[in-house]
Structure 1
Amino acid sequence: MANFGRFVCVLVPFLLTLASLIAMLIAGLSGIADKSLYMFRVNVTDLQLSPLSVSKILDGSGIKVPSLDDINIPNIGTRQSQTNNITAADLGLYDVYDVNIWNYCYTSQNDTRACTKASFNWAATALNTTTGEFNSMLTSTGLNVTLPKEITDAVKAFGTVSKWTQIVFIIAYVALGVELFFGLFANCSRAFSCVTFLVAFIATVAVGAAAGLATATSVVVVGAVEASAKLYGVDADFNTRFLATVWLGVAFAVAAGLFWMFTICCCAPDHSSRHSRSRAAEGEKFMNQGPGYQRLSDPHGNGYQSGYAQQYPRQSYGPPQQHSGAYEPYSHARV
């Protein structure tokens, strides 16, 4: 019964660890296995950007900006008036961008959804390419006009945070896998339980860091878009399903760590039955030594004479006694 209790005590944190790994995989593989789940979304469907607004944005960065009346923007042509607004379609942008851990997905005007190929440090490559395309667009007149340093720095910062989020997610996956491996042997002894608890502590920290980085990235980007780009028709929101999934993984990891600690303090493996069986076996060995007892009155020695008496028979130090009718004080036959 004690062994069954130990098994249940180990099974609970093992299942919690498995649940944490599944939750982190669901969140981390959004956009790959589950394309309906995303970290945060940027919607540029209603983007309306006038050439005058672009001029003001660039002028605020300290760059000497030329007149944008005659700038030939791809898909737009030569602008003769600053009253015509630039839309997302004019800039070659999709309507909706869903950003994930390993890639991003996009939806076009005809509601066609597709996702880029998952890769490590995808944000740096994609954003640098996009920045270069915007710089090419702004310098289409041959003038040296680039995006402000504040914008390029923000793009680089997002790429760095996205890269570290991917790294921490990998560490969390590996730590949870190692925790499950040692958890398979935690039922054997407290030593395995202690090692599993130490690995669970590392896994919990990694899972919490991954969830924190993903949440912080989503909140910062959405907050920046809502504070500035919303004036030009750009909208952003973070996915509550993603946040609920990733923080549920954190909750499972914390609970698993606590239960692994209980397997060290409580629910110790029961070795009493094994010790009692070994003691019984040793007792049987001692009891079976020697031929046993034999009857002393048996003339052939086949009775219950002790083995000691057989090995060491009593020696006589006097002349043999003659059986006679005389009274013998120690003779039981006369009694």
Structure 2
Amino acid sequence: MGKGGRVLCIITPYVLTIASLICLIMVGLGCTNSSSGSLNNLYFFRANLQNVTESSEVQSGVDQALDKLGQANIHVDDGDIKTALEQVQKQLGVTVADYYDIGLWGYCQGNITKDNKYDTSKCSKPKTEFWFNPMEVWNLEQTGLQNALPDGMDKALDVYKKVSKWMSVAYIIAFVATVIELVVGVFAICSRWGSCVTTLISVVAFLFTAAASATSTALFVVILGLFNEKLKPFGIVGSIGKNIYAASWLAVAFSLAAALFWLLSTCCCSGRSPYNHKNRAGPRPVTAEKTPYTYEPLGPYDNNQANTSYPPLPPQSRHNNAYEPFRHA
């Protein structure tokens, strides 16, 4: 099969590795560009605050006047996140967005139009080990309303913060390992040893891609249940994205398939020619070699021909030609 067959054997896992890398890139680009509608649809979790923002806009003229004079009696009960967000808008004049989408490296926010379309206004700057801190994003710390979150949310946020850091690291390792897999995969064309090394790297890429995908899925599913349990009574609803999980798990599938095909390439398609001689059209010629110290017959002895090299036959043996001289090879 030779080098050509070796190249064909490597193409399949190489293409699968590229597909896995593209999916990982899509996961990383989610919620990083406010002007891109396709990238804005790549989010792990969405917090919908539309009911809170609509109710905060309905404010009596007396309340507005008191707010301007600084005479408003601000009091928020523990766990009353809805009232706390309304007070944030009154005190700071900061408009709380209708929704917040959480990605891998940052979040995006925007408003929901009358025809129920999500219009993204801005996205945060991407950073590693990102986690969405509602106390900071919703300005609850700045207004001294740290007690606004319901019971149990503080512990849940602490767990989310720690797990999200591991999730970010896992995605980074998966991305780097996949890139290295592509680079080393070029050398797999030359020999099975190259395939062996590439297979080991592909296994690492697959394990971290699977770990990152499983972590993100489990993490935000748990947050979704707790979020809706604690905050839905106040008009804040959470939901899970679909596109980013599809991209992440497709990366896992492509990475697994690539690892299997890399392993297969170590067992076949060596790249060496089956013949090492110049004549490749026919079968390999077989050469015979004489064995040393053997004798060959000279043929029947002719009594009429003089032979100066050997003595003549004895008289008693000239008629039956029983004597046949041999020569040394």
| Residue 13 of structure 1: aligned partner | 13
**Conserved 8 A contact 2:106-2:125:** yes
Asked whether the equivalents of residues 27 and 244 of structure 2 are also in contact (C-alpha less than 8 Å), the reply is yes
Q: Which residue number corresponds to residue 61 of structure 1?
A: none
Partner of 2:177: 175
Residue identity matched to 1:276 = H
Deviation larger for 15-24 or 88-97: 88-97
Asked if the contact 1:49–1:87 (Cα under 8 Å) also holds between the matched residues in 2, the reply is no
Structure 2: stretches of 5+ with no match in the other structure: 34-38, 56-65, 77-81, 90-95, 114-118, 285-303, 309-329
Deviation, structure 1 residue 227: 2.0
User: Whole-Å Cα distance in 2 between the matches of residues 89 and 49 of structure 1?
Assistant: 10
Aligned to 1:276: 277
Q: Does 1:129 align with 2:136?
A: yes
- Deviation string 1:122-142 (CA, Å, 9 cap, x unpaired) is 327x456348x4245356xxx
Work out whether 1:207 is the aligned partner of 2:212.
Answer: no
For residue 112 of structure 1, report the CA deviation from its aligned partner: 4.7
Is 2:173–2:208's contact at 8 Å kept on the other side of the alignment?
Answer: yes
- Among 69, 84, 104, the alignment partner of 2:107 is 104
Amino acid at match of 2:143: M
Between the aligned partners of 1:261 and 1:80, the Cα distance in structure 2 is: 66
2:88 to 85, 88, 91: 91
Give the partner amino acid of 1:39: F
Select 1:236's aligned residue among 235, 238, 241: 238
SS in 1 for 2:162: helix
Matched residue type, 1:191: W
Partner residue in 2 for 1:246: 248
Tell me the residue number matched to 1:78. 72
Structure 1 residue corresponding to 2:52, chosen from 47, 50, 53: 47
Aligned residue runs from structure 1 range 137-156, under 5 A: 137-138=143-144, 150-156=152-158
* Offset of residue 81 of structure 1: 10
Please give the alpha-carbon distance, in whole angstroms, between the structure 2 residues aligned to 1:147 and 1:17: 44
Q: Secondary structure at the match of 1:32?
A: coil
Q: 1:134 is paired with a residue of what secondary structure? A: coil
Q: In angstroms, what is the RMSD of aligned CA positions?
A: 3.7
Q: What are the superposed Cα offsets for residues 206-261 of structure 1, whole Å, 9 maximum, x if unpaired?
A: 11011111112221121212222112211111111111111000000000000001
* Cα distance change of structure 1 residues 73 and 153 upon mapping to structure 2, 3 Å threshold: farther
Q: Distance in 1 between matches of 2:250 and 2:120?
A: 31
Q: 1:203 to 1:232 in 2, by over 3 A?
A: same
Counterpart of 1:323 in structure 2 is none
Partner of 1:290: none
User: TM-score, normalising length from structure 1?
Assistant: 0.67
Q: Secondary structure at the match of 1:123?
A: coil
Deviations 1:70-116 (A, max 9, x none): xx99999724999xx73855534211000000000001367452100
Deviations 1:163-199 (A, max 9, x none): 1111111100110011111111101111111000011
Q: How many percent of aligned residue pairs carry the same amino acid?
A: 31
CA distance in structure 1 between the aligned counterparts of 2:232 and 2:68, rounded to whole angstroms: 24
